[in-house]
């Protein structure tokens, strides 16, 4: 049987077995973050077939060579390494994250998994960070090349959402980048706690190790209004492509003031824009950073006639860069509220190591959150 025919049969089977009532109050409801599927044999055509509420799922999870390309609706993403990751973004041009959060599809740097491929030149700088409990990519991108409006401040996507069905609805994430994979690049684990901020031409995609003790805390999804700088404190630089090892960050919203560990509570959107925060995030120390030329990393990216950005590396080969350098850091305040880039409110007391790296982030604040547009988690 051809792959096309097989996909059609799977789609028909999925449609014929839809559960008609599976909201969060139903005893049969299973939150997206609690659904587990082995890769690739255990993945269904669609994870969420419930037509009620926001459903059913707009895309599909069973992706292969027949689905790969510019029209793919694959909603299975990957985060593995500096040169192998995906981003969630709109399936249709000139959109905002706020309007399409449930429908986002996977845009990836590698072929072979049935997704869309990020256009060549769109990615303008990336830092890949491996820590004891999570892996993370923070970077800079021409977001118009992945169907977002140039001025979209973006949003936060995660496997939870207000109805626990995730954004995108039914979106799955897999990785071979954790120690428990034992270096086997052909073995993928499902990541049930992850978060992705994208907007303002910046992004952060973090996947927490399913075997780790603090996955839910380190991939916190509650602080959607305070952006990348507070959820993914980093030292990423535009124009630089590097991989590093680092410490775990403090869980988002947790900080130390005068020797006391404090927890920030994000106010509801009904109270208006967030114009200040009581702290600046601690940027975790990093080490063993190695820089690469972008041309050596993203060999599968497709050309785009509309591409105007040119990604530039830092040298022809891999060169060690030492430890814990301080830079401006990716500062996007992309939030679930649709606040524009850099909308991380002005912080308070300095938080020690790396805090100065957040300077640009906390300065570009109030103008962003002032134009926040509310939408569901």
**Is a pLDDT exceeding 60 seen at residue 87?**
yes
- Quick one: pLDDT at residue 181? 74
Taking only the tens place, the pLDDT of each residue in 304-328 is 543 333 333 333 333 333 333 333 4
At residue 330 the predicted structure's pLDDT band, cuts being 50, 70 and 90, is: low
In the chain, pLDDT over 90 holds for what percent of residues? 69
The strand pair at 116-117 and 105-108 is best described as parallel
At residue 347 the predicted structure's pLDDT band, cuts being 50, 70 and 90, is: very low
How large is the average pLDDT for residues 337-343? 36
Taking only the tens place, the pLDDT of each residue in 7-62 is 444 444 444 333 333 455 566 899 999 999 999 999 999 999 999 999 999 999 99
pTM beyond 0.85: no
Q: What are the strands, taking DSSP E only, across the chain?
A: 76-81, 84-89, 105-108, 116-117, 123-130, 134-141, 155-157, 172-175, 189-190, 194-199, 202-208, 241-246, 254-257, 260-263, 286-291, 319-320
Q: What is the separation of C-alpha 182 from the centre of its chain, rounded to a whole number of angstroms? A: 24
- Quick one: pLDDT at residue 127? 98
Radius of gyration, alpha carbons of the chain: 20
- Quick one: pLDDT at residue 184? 67
Instruction: Find out whether 242 and 179 touch, Cβ atoms under 8 Å.
Output: no
Taking only the tens place, the pLDDT of each residue in 195-217 is 999 999 999 999 999 999 999 99
At residue 3 the predicted structure's pLDDT band, cuts being 50, 70 and 90, is: very low
């Amino acid at each position: 049987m051809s792959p096309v025919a097989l996909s059609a049969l799977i789609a028909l089977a999925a449609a014929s077995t839809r559960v008609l009532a599976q909201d969060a109050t139903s005893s049969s409801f299973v939150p997206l973050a609690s659904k587990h599927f082995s890769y690739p044999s255990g993945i269904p055509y669609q994870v969420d077939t419930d037509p009620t509420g926001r459903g059913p799922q707009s895309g599909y999870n069973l992706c292969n060579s027949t689905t790969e390309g510019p029209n793919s609706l694959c909603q299975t993403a990957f985060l593995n390494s500096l040169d192998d990751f995906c981003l969630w973004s709109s399936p249709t041009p000139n959109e905002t994250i706020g309007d399409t959060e449930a429908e986002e599809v996977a845009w990836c740097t590698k072929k072979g998994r049935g997704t869309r491929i990020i256009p060549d030149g769109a990615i303008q700088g990336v830092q890949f960070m491996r820590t004891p409990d999570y892996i993370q990519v923070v970077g800079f991108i021409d977001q118009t090349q992945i169907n977002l409006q140039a001025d979209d401040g973006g949003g936060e996507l995660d496997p939870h959402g207000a109805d626990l069905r995730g954004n995108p609805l039914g979106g799955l994430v897999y990785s071979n980048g954790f120690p428990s994979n034992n270096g086997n690049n052909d073995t993928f684990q499902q990541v049930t706690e992850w978060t992705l901020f994208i907007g303002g031409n910046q992004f952060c995609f973090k996947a927490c190790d399913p075997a780790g003790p603090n996955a839910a805390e380190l991939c916190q999804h509650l602080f959607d209004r305070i952006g990348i700088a507070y959820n993914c404190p980093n030292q990423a630089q535009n124009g630089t492509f590097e991989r590093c090892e680092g410490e775990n960050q403090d869980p988002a919203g947790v900080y130390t003031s005068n020797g006391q560990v404090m927890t920030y509570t994000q106010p509801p959107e009904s109270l208006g824009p967030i114009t200040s925060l009581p702290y600046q995030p601690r940027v975790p120390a990093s080490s063993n950073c190695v820089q690469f030329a972008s041309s050596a990393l993203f060999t599968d990216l497709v050309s785009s006639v509309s591409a105007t950005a040119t990604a530039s590396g830092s040298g022809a080969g891999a060169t060690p860069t030492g430890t814990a350098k301080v830079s401006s850091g990716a500062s996007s305040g992309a939030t679930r509220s649709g606040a524009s880039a850099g909308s991380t409110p002005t912080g308070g007391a300095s938080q020690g190591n790396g805090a100065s790296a957040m300077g640009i982030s906390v300065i570009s604040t109030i103008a962003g959150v002032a134009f926040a547009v509310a939408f569901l988690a």
